[in-house]
């Protein structure tokens, strides 16, 4: 998110999503993080935006896309509108790695309000947008967190929190 808490511009653009250029070739730990997950959950707008960058980058990882639109599933994605509590309950009963809730803001809000997020990986990009789509919406419950790890790479402050 931007320093002022936005995950995209009002029109959905994420063209500002980069570091400060001080360490452009440094590993930010993405591969290590990606190895820790085997399932991804995202909203339809996030999914559609990912596809604008080229080929779907998460092939081989089980994915769920929340949408009310009728779409055909493919080998990587199941389109769903099922209750998030039901889906998470089902997934947690299975053997596997962690689940990555990749976005967007509306879906994240639903998960927060239903207390379904165990850990938060927040990367703060060195940019103040001034307006846009907020990561956190209003009227969330108070959630107390414990900071597990911080790392700064290429001007990006990366924080890993767990619920207390």
Q: What is the pLDDT of residues 91-142, one digit of tens each?
A: 999 999 999 999 899 999 999 999 999 999 999 999 999 999 999 999 999 9
Position 48 scores a pLDDT of 93
Tens-place pLDDT, residues 81-90: 999 999 999 9
Query: Is residue 27 over pLDDT 90?
Result: no
What residues contact residue 96 under an 8 Å CB cut-off, 6+ apart?
38, 39
| Cβ atoms of residues 2 and 125 within 8 Å | yes
**At what angle are helices 84-93 and 105-113 packed, to 10 degrees?**
70
Task: Give the pairing type, strands 37-43 and 98-103.
Answer: parallel
Res 159 pLDDT > 90 = yes
């Amino acid at each position: 998110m931007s320093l002022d808490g936005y995950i995209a511009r009002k029109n959905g653009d994420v063209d500002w999503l980069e570091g400060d250029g001080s360490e452009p070739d440094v590993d930010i730990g993405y591969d290590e993080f990606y190895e820790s997950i085997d399932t991804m959950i995202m909203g339809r707008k996030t999914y559609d935006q990912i596809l604008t960058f080229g080929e779907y980058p998460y092939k081989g990882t089980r994915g769920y896309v929340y949408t009310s639109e009728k779409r055909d599933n493919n080998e990587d994605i199941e389109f769903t509108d099922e209750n998030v509590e039901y889906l998470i309950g089902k997934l947690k009963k299975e053997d596997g790695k962690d689940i990555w809730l990749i976005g967007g803001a509306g879906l994240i809000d639903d998960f927060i309000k239903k207390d379904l997020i165990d850990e938060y990986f927040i990367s703060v990009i060195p940019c103040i947008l001034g307006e846009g789509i907020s990561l956190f919406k209003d009227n969330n419950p108070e959630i107390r967190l414990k900071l597990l790890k911080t790392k700064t790479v290429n001007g990006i402050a990366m924080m890993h929190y767990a619920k207390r």
